[in-house]
């Protein structure tokens, strides 16, 4: 059994978690001071978004030194102290690796663009213009506009699947490959337990740089996501060769008992599965389809069933992320949205694999409501009218007061005007029935039931109706070896009445995401928008 099997993950967006020095930016000492909170919450592994030196064009996903630390966030010594403290508390630490692209201010790119025969020229992707002088092909950036920027000095274009300030590294170059092996080996040697790999499906491109098929009209004024989706991304992502890179990294990780977790943002299960199913590439991949369902049982059931059929133990199941609207907002907002989000997470906690909270999910936070002029995310700043990702990145409200215990200064991004004072960690601490205490209860229940921690078989108990239920059974049985997780997806189709489910054996209610659920013998009664964990007699 690997150390990550059965764990629960927690994403920390470093800028917005906890600011120790009053500059308005979250930082590593801030995180370190809050580690006891995370240990008490009951998560096991913490992924920290990029804290490397960076011009912050994409808030840290534009790295200018892969082995250093941005002074705003701390020092390399702060990382090792944080890791040591985390280990003492029984927590694992996963750092973010951004191998697809560097910052345009990374010394490699500064050198590469200095001349066509520079030492690092081939570390990036350069092509001659098309015959009409335009970009070499029709690829577009995830953040709007062409994926190519013209370099006057050399008369060539360089490729960037994100901002022009994030030039793509050339993974066809062996030196780039060797350099990243050295980078991950160094971080593992510094004690980190794993890496989260940014856009893990995008490192390699078609060697002939063919155009992507156009599948929808391209509207240059549409939000960047829509423009990106006007193409079938046949040639700029998800190329076969990428797995070979992870096979090499897996050997490096094995030396340190470290874990590779991929941000494989491919929503089709058949594409995603390739990254994990041979058990020689990534150890885990995020299953982002979980972030794209509405509050609709006919979306949730088939989506989870398809993924679990691949082998759910290979997946990390995010409730939220710093790139997508918060679950509470997506499921209707306010109290109802928060209640649904917690119910959904309860079911994710009953699946094989690693459920993941995004910071603040445990407080029932919804997206921050921001004034129009507050935009910081380059997606919003550079694409007028696009919502951007700021609302999900507002700082954590730790306690009531002007800086909400997040900062003693001015936060880099406002907290949001929507009643953050009601949703602080301090206000919820020790209050029975609060989102924080309910989330703690859930994670405690998961810890105490071996059937939910790994090795157990899965079987879906319902094929229709508003309840999605999964049975988990350990081959050897024993206490906590037979468990059901069940979610009643109410509301959407107007069905708010409690549902009943016949359980495969008599059960005991271990956890409910909200009041009103009960188990009598083999009958579970489940209110709408609620999920439970039930221990069955074997």
Which residues participate in catalysis according to the annotation? 198, 263
Residue 11 found at the interface with ligand NOJ (CB under 6 A)? no
Q: Which residue is nearest to ligand NOJ (CB)?
A: 61
- Taking CB under 5 A as the binding criterion, the range among 23-31, 119-127, 176-184, 195-203 that sits at the site for Mg ion is 23-31
CA 235 to chain centre: 24
Round to whole Å and give the CA distance between 302 and 346. Answer: 17
Nearest-angstrom CA–CA distance, 356 and 9: 4
Is 21 or 298 the residue whose CB approaches Mg ion more closely?
21
In the stretch 41-60, what mask flags binding to ligand NOJ with x, by CB under 6 A? Answer: -----------------x--
For 421-490, where are the alpha helices, taking DSSP H only? 425-428, 435-448, 450-453
Cβ at position 400, least distance to ligand NOJ in Å:
30
Binding partner at 98 among ligand NOJ, Mg ion, none, C-beta below 5 to 8 Å by kind? ligand NOJ
Buried residues in 7-16 as b, exposed as e (16+ CB within 10 A):
bbbbbbbbbb
Q: Are 450 and 481 in contact (CB under 8 A)?
A: yes
Closest to Mg ion by CB, 27 vs 361, is 27
CA dihedral 496, 500, 503, 507 (to 10 degrees): 90
In the complex, minimum distance from the CB of residue 325 to ligand NOJ, in angstroms, rounded to a whole number: 14
Give whichever of 19 and 323 is closer to Mg ion, judged by the CB atom: 19
Pairing of strands 194-197, 92-97: parallel
CA angle 361, 365, 370 (to 5 degrees): 130
199 binds ligand NOJ (CB under 6 A): yes
- In angstroms, the CA 145 to CA 382 distance is 10
Smallest distance from ligand NOJ to CB 526, Å: 35
- Answer for the pair 262, 284: CB distance below 8 angstroms, yes or no: yes
Residue closer to ligand NOJ, measured from CB, 370 or 519: 370
Give me the helix-helix angle, 28-41 and 435-448, nearest 10°. Answer: 60
Q: How many residues belong to the site for Mg ion (CB under 5 A)? A: 5
Decide which of ligand NOJ, Mg ion, none touches 25; Cβ closer than 5 to 8 Å per partner kind: Mg ion
Q: Is 47 left (phi over 0), alpha (psi -120 to 50) or beta?
A: beta
Q: Which two tokens stand for residue 147?
A: 């994926």
User: Which string of x and - marks every residue 90-129 that binds ligand NOJ (by CB under 6 A)?
Assistant: --------x-------------------------------
**Does 323 engage in binding with ligand NOJ (CB under 6 A)?**
yes
Closest by CA to 146, choosing from 156, 154, 136, 131, is 136
Q: How far is the CB of 187 from ligand NOJ (least distance, A)?
A: 18
User: Judged by CB under 5 A, which of 5, 21, 447, 455 binds Mg ion?
Assistant: 21
| CB-nearer residue toward ligand NOJ: 12 or 98 | 98
Binding site for ligand NOJ (CB under 6 A): 58, 61, 98, 162, 198-199, 263, 322-323
């Amino acid at each position: 059994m690997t150390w990550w099997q059965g764990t629960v993950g927690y994403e920390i967006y470093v800028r917005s978690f906890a600011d120790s020095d009053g500059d308005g930016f979250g930082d590593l000492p801030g995180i370190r001071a809050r580690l006891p909170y995370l240990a008490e919450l009951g998560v096991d592994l913490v992924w920290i978004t990029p804290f490397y030196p960076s011009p912050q064009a994409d808030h840290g996903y534009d790295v200018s030194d892969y082995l250093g630390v941005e002074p705003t966030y701390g020092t390399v010594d702060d990382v090792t102290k944080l890791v040591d403290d985390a280990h003492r508390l029984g927590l694992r630490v996963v750092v973010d690796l951004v191998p697809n692209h560097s910052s345009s201010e990374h010394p490699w790119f500064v050198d590469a663009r200095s001349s066509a025969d520079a030492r690092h020229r081939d570390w990036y992707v350069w092509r001659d213009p098309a015959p009409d002088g335009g970009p070499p092909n029709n690829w577009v950036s995830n953040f709007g506009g062409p994926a190519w920027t013209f370099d006057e000095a050399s008369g060539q274009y360089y490729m960037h699947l994100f901002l022009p300030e994030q030039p793509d590294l050339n993974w066809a170059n062996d030196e780039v490959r060797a350099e990243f092996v050295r980078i991950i080996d160094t971080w593992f040697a510094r004690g980190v337990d794993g890496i989260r790999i940014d856009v893990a499906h995008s490192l390699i491109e078609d060697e002939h740089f063919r155009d992507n098929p156009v599948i929808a009209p391209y509207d240059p004024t549409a939000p960047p996501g829509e423009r990106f989706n006007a193409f079938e991304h046949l040639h700029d992502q998800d190329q076969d060769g990428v797995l070979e890179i992870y096979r090499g990294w897996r050997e490096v990780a094995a030396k340190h008992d470290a874990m590779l977790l991929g941000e494989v943002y491919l929503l089709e299960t058949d594409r995603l599965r390739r990254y994990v199913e041979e058990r020689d590439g990534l150890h885990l991949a995020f299953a982002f389809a979980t972030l794209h369902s509405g509050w609709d049982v006919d979306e949730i059931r088939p989506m989870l069933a398809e993924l679990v059929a691949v082998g759910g133990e290979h997946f990390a199941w995010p409730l939220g992320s710093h790139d997508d609207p918060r679950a509470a907002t997506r499921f209707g907002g306010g109290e109802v949205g928060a209640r649904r989000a917690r119910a959904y997470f309860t079911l994710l906690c009953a699946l094989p694999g690693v459920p993941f909270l995004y910071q603040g999910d445990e407080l029932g936070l919804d997206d921050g409501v921001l004034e129009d002029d507050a935009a910081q995310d380059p997606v919003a700043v550079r694409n007028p009218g696009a919502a951007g990702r700021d609302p999900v990145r507002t700082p954590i409200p730790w306690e009531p007061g002007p800086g909400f215990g997040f900062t003693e200064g001015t936060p880099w991004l406002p907290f949001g005007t929507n009643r953050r004072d009601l949703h602080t960690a301090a206000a919820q601490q020790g209050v029975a029935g609060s989102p924080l205490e309910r989330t703690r209860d859930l994670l405690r229940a998961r810890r105490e039931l071996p059937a939910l921690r790994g090795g157990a078989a899965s079987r879906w108990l319902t094929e229709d109706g508003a309840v999605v239920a999964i049975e988990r059974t350990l081959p050897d049985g024993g206490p906590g070896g037979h468990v059901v997780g069940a979610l009643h997806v109410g509301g959407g189709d107007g069905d708010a009445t409690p549902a009943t489910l016949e359980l495969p054996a008599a059960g005991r209610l271990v956890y409910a995401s909200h009041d009103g659920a009960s188990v009598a013998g083999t009958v579970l009664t489940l209110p709408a928008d609620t999920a439970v964990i039930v221990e069955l007699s074997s």
